[in-house]
Chain A
Amino acid sequence: MLELNNIGKVFNGGTVNENRALKNINLKVEKGDFITIIGSNGAGKSTLFNLISGSYSPSEGSVIIHDRDVTDEPEHKRARHIGRIFQNTMLGTASNMTLEDNMMICSKKGFKGLKISLNKSRRDFFRSKLKDLDMGLEERLKDNVGLLSGGQRQALTLLMMVLSEPDLVLLDEHTAALDPKNASLVLDLTVKFINEFKLTTMMITHNMEHAIKYGNRLLMMDRGEVILDVKGEEKKNLTIKELIERFHNIRKREFANDEALLSE
């Protein structure tokens, strides 16, 4: 469903500030995969998402979605396949518009025509979906989204994303800006939706426990590279301790190599 071939990304190439954010990324995501991604700050996780969604174009390599090369396609075209949720809860909704307006805008991807689609049956549909969130939002269709709490906003964004039926879901630490209670609420909701609608998902998280607990595949990134890729049974048996150990093993070896190079 998604293929990344030899993706590299260099920022400020040719200057003293040159920064290789991603190096030689090869990744194949199958339909129905739920991939968790961990890695320290600056490991290139968000850059990876930006390249998949088209916010950036790669310095080298190609992005293939549904067997189609979309490397040069602008973000808004690719967005028809992709549902992305950001850490910043403000980015998913328009705060000075009502819940129903927001839900209407996000109902269908692609070009919007001169049709008035927001009618009673639509409202009833939205209300029933909001009821499932169990946050009392079904009574607030005419309220501005700006009045909602961060948790409610993110839950709404999640719901709207699911309703737009994306082929690929990108979750960029989407619970990191929430308080612990709301974070777990939104995460539970996320997992429920992913299972219910069999969504192909990539989720960046800072929480190793979550990275291990959820999904069928785990990627660990460091300094622009995927340094660990664990799937299936192997992932099920993974523990946090083991994960940290493996991280240190991989990085130590490379460190030794660097030293060997330098001493020559």
Chain B
Amino acid sequence: MIEISGVILIEGLIYGIMALGVFISFRVLDFPDLTVDGSFPMGAAVMAACLIGEVPFILAFILTFIAGILAGMTTAVIHNKLKVPGLLAGILTMTMLYSVNLRIQKGSPNISFLRVDTVFDKINGVFKGFMSSTWSMLILLLIVFLVIKVLLDLFFHTDMGLTLGAMGNNEQMVISQGVNPRVLKMLGIGLSNGLVALAGALAAQYQGQADVNLGRGVVIMGLASVMIGEFLIKSNKIAYLTIRVLLGSIAFRGIMFLARNLTFLSLKPSDLQLIYGMSIILLLILTRRKEKKSRRVG
């Protein structure tokens, strides 16, 4: 049981970082960004290249983050310059990234980390004897998540962060304040995909391989996590908004674990995409119900 909840928490934390990125694009910027399905495996690919090339971990994560930012900025530039909807811009980048990722992985769709030390192997090595590998991974990921969360909270308190917060809500207001909305979108979508790529790098190391198909359905998982989080906590404070993304992510992982293990459903791993999609539909129905109710009360 402890082992199972450990897995759920670890996955929740890794995918929670990705969900933070989705939260920034979908919720803060109101920009439905599908780049995520490409930048997640891109993070994995860049990390694979770094591990094989024996790049130090810190530098490897920085490179991953930068790669994600560039992917996001590509989407923002397509959207800004060609005036196409964000949805299309994201799909374009995502499609192109598939080829780019294969290039980074030198043409092989799958790179195993069996022969290299991942960040988790390293941390297990350090804490061997003190605690189990699950615990050391959990503690590492919790620290990573909290650092990212606190930095994000701080960012959203700065003048720039506040203005970014107003973007998705009221672009006209941002323009009226003399701020270029295109620059803000570049920053926001870039930051979002940077986080997604980081999560991709962690997920690949956790699974022991980088796979170009790792990104399939990731954006839907992220969105589901964000939406579940919104059910759990209602607030307008950024500190709560970011922590509820994590809670939503852990809850989503828990629900998915249950779905996989309800034997009478006799689900196969290939059914997961269907379940991800259906969970979003269910969440949308629930959200609508809730909104209707609160409108009647108000």
Contact = CB atoms under 8 A, between A and B. Distances in A.
B172 A112 contact: no
Interface residues of A, number: 37
Nearest to B175: A76
B162 A76 contact: no
A94 B236 contact: no
B169 A96 contact: yes
B179 interface: yes
A110 B170 contact: no
Contacts, number: 91
Contact of B178 (A76, A102, A144): A76
A91 B169 CA distance: 9
* Residue of A79, A84, A95, A113 ringed by the most chain B CB atoms within 10 A: A79
A110 B155 CA distance: 18
B193 to A, nearest CB: 20
Interface of B is mostly: helix
Given A101-B162, A113-B159, A113-B160, A96 B236 contact: yes
Contact of A95 (B157, B162, B169): B169
Contact of A118 (B154, B157, B172, B236): B157
Interface string B149-175: 000001101111111011001101111
A92 interface: yes
A116 B154 contact: yes
B166 A105 contact: yes
Interface string A106-136: 1011111111111000000000000000000
Nearest to A86: B172
Contacts of B155: 114
B178 A79 contact: yes
Interface residues of B, number: 24
B263 interface: no
A74 B170 CA distance: 18
Contact of A80 (B158, B172, B178, B236): B178
Given A104-B162, A105-B166, A109-B177, A97 B236 contact: yes
B180 interface: yes
Contacts of A46: none
A182 interface: no
A133 to B, nearest CB: 19
Given A77-B178, A96-B236, A105-B177, A112 B163 contact: yes
A94 to B, nearest CB: 4
B20 to A, nearest CB: 18
B180 to A, nearest CB: 5
Contacts of A33: none
Given A95-B170, A112-B163, A79 B175 contact: yes
A90 B158 CA distance: 24
14 contacts: A76-B178, A82-B176, A90-B170, A91-B173, A92-B173, A92-B176, A93-B173, A106-B173, A111-B178, A112-B159, A114-B158, A114-B161, A115-B158, A116-B158
Interface of A: 74-77, 79-80, 82-84, 86, 90-98, 101-102, 104-106, 108-118, 144, 164
